[in-house]
Amino acid sequence: MASTQAAQVLVASNRGPVSYQVDEDGSLHARRGGGGLVSGLSAIGPDAGALWVCSALTDGDREAIRRGTGEPGVRMLDIPPPIHADAYNGIANSVLWFVHHMLYQTPLEPSFDADFRRQWSSYETYNRAFAEALAEEAAPHATAVVQDYHLTLVPGMLRALRPDLRIGHFSHTPWAPPEYFRLLPDDIAAQILHGMLGADRLGFLTHRWADAFKACCDAFTDGLGDTSIGVHGLGADADFLRDRAHQPDVADRMTTLRTEIGTAADGTPRRTIVRVDRTELSKNIVRGLHAYRHLLDTRPEWHDRVTHVAFAYPSRQDLAVYRDYTAEVERVARSINDAYGTPTWTPVVLHVEDDFARSLAAYRLADVALVNPIRDGMNLVAKEVPVVSDEGCALVLSREAGAYEELGEDAIVVNPYDVVQTAEALHTALTMPPAERADRAKRLAAAATALPPARWFLDQLNELKS
């Protein structure tokens, strides 16, 4: 699946824009993903000589490589599965994700032992595979933009192979402050920072994460050197979302959801608190459920009058800690329903099967959106719900989400660890006068769409080239 001509613009990320499944008849079935990079690359047009380098993640992906078929403009790397597992599950998702989201729970974690060192060497191998592929595919003086914590070593490795290139790196996660980043072994911390500083330009979603990165460089290296830093807050794609949210399959899901939400004993439709997340420790779903429970415990006026629609979609299920968290979310939701449910009222409607049309249906019906991550690079749900909701919903938002920098003024802001405060915020959101709610929702939607994905990507590209 190598491209036929040298690329002018290259993107590198672990997960690519397409993945393949082998169907029963042996044919390959492609599934295309969405997101900011996909919109960005399509915005530069098919003739721009763009190439996306990504990992083969499924058997279908590896089969597509073997058959030499596959999407033009995409090169999948067949990294040996054990190497990929060490790099992705071991280092990227169990170490770097935990550092940047400050998720470790001492005294048991972290512990950087021999196993960690073995995984780290796989992470180096995996990063090298990307750097070599980019070096091979890039036209002279081309631009390469490398994505995220999976690929922190690529900029430095690529710089050594191809000094002529313009190299960028973008972090979609938070960045840890030096006091937390220094949990990492000194040599590893230095390797990550030096790897990234191989880029001409580093991008972050907020000033807070960019400042934390600079502080880490000041603490552990000689500073940024010649590398510049840019802040690009990815926004929601309003045109796409509004169009998609008005397709017939979304209308069908709304009908089903309305039945699940139901009406109160006096016949009025129940108020709806919506959350949509990957089932991810940083999303703080369990504390969100505890807050809802506290609302019901302390404010009986809401019994039978509100439903919490919670979608928690499976993520990184190879890791036990994620599987355990999923089970905990289900257990707590069940305990609320056992405590307060009646034959006609299910207080928590929890769904765990991924369904984008149903997420949009919930966005449209939401009175309140609950977005309470412990820490989050941006959080696009916080930006998408105000754009899509029919009535203009109120937003309860964690101050630790990157989106807080842009939406903080019109959201009801919470400390994600404070369950009592979050419960009060839900009450405030549910009782907000309709005119105020609509005004705030309008401003939230405007702020949320200020930097749509295509512009977000093109701005980075232009700044990198200039």
Residues that bind ligand G6P (CB under 6 A): 14-15, 148, 172-173, 315-316, 377
Judged by beta carbon, residue 15 or residue 128, the one nearer ligand G6P is 15
Judged by beta carbon, residue 155 or residue 377, the one nearer ligand G6P is 377
How many alpha carbons fall within 13 Å on the CB side of residue 281?
Answer: 20
| Residue 155 Cβ vs ligand G6P, minimum distance, rounded to whole Å | 16
Contact by Cβ (8 Å): 286, 332: yes
- DSSP-derived letter for residue 263 is B
**DSSP class per residue in 338-378:** HHH-BTTB-SEEEE-S--HHHHHHHHHH-SEEEE--SSBS-
| Residue 329 Cβ vs ligand G6P, minimum distance, rounded to whole Å | 17
| Residue 250 Cβ vs ligand G6P, minimum distance, rounded to whole Å | 22
- DSSP-derived letter for residue 345 is B
| Residue 151 Cβ vs ligand G6P, minimum distance, rounded to whole Å | 10
Contact by Cβ (8 Å): 190, 215: no
- Interatomic CA distance for residues 28 and 42, integer angstroms: 23
| Residue 380 Cβ vs ligand G6P, minimum distance, rounded to whole Å | 8
- Interatomic CA distance for residues 182 and 80, integer angstroms: 31
Give the number of other CB atoms < 10 A from CB of residue 262: 14
Residue with tokens 């972290």: 110
- When CB distances to ligand G6P are compared, the closest residue is 172
| Residue 109 Cβ vs ligand G6P, minimum distance, rounded to whole Å | 19
**Which helix (H) or strand (E) covers residue 371, if one does?**
strand 368-371
| Residue 217 Cβ vs ligand G6P, minimum distance, rounded to whole Å | 20
| Residue 15 Cβ vs ligand G6P, minimum distance, rounded to whole Å | 4
- Interatomic CA distance for residues 170 and 73, integer angstroms: 20
| Residue 432 Cβ vs ligand G6P, minimum distance, rounded to whole Å | 29
Judged by beta carbon, residue 33 or residue 225, the one nearer ligand G6P is 33
Judged by beta carbon, residue 272 or residue 282, the one nearer ligand G6P is 282
How many residues would you count in the chain?
Answer: 466
Contact by Cβ (8 Å): 312, 352: yes
| Residue 402 Cβ vs ligand G6P, minimum distance, rounded to whole Å | 10
From the list 410, 444, 439, 412, the residue with the least C-alpha distance to 425 is 412
Coil, strand or helix at 86: helix
Judged by beta carbon, residue 151 or residue 419, the one nearer ligand G6P is 151
**DSSP class per residue in 405-426:** HHHTTTSEEE-TT-HHHHHHHH
Q: Which residues pair with 251 in a beta bridge?
A: none
What stretches of 199-268 adopt beta strand conformation (E)? 201-204, 228-231
CA distance readout (Å), 320 to 326, 373, 418? 10, 20, 26
Contact by Cβ (8 Å): 220, 189: yes
| Residue 237 Cβ vs ligand G6P, minimum distance, rounded to whole Å | 15
Judged by beta carbon, residue 148 or residue 367, the one nearer ligand G6P is 148
- Interatomic CA distance for residues 194 and 198, integer angstroms: 6
Judged by beta carbon, residue 14 or residue 307, the one nearer ligand G6P is 14
Give the number of other CB atoms < 10 A from CB of residue 58: 15
Judged by beta carbon, residue 40 or residue 377, the one nearer ligand G6P is 377
- Interatomic CA distance for residues 264 and 292, integer angstroms: 18
Judged by beta carbon, residue 319 or residue 438, the one nearer ligand G6P is 319
Q: Which residues contact 198 (CB under 8 A, 6 or more apart)?
A: 154, 155, 156, 157, 158, 159, 160, 167
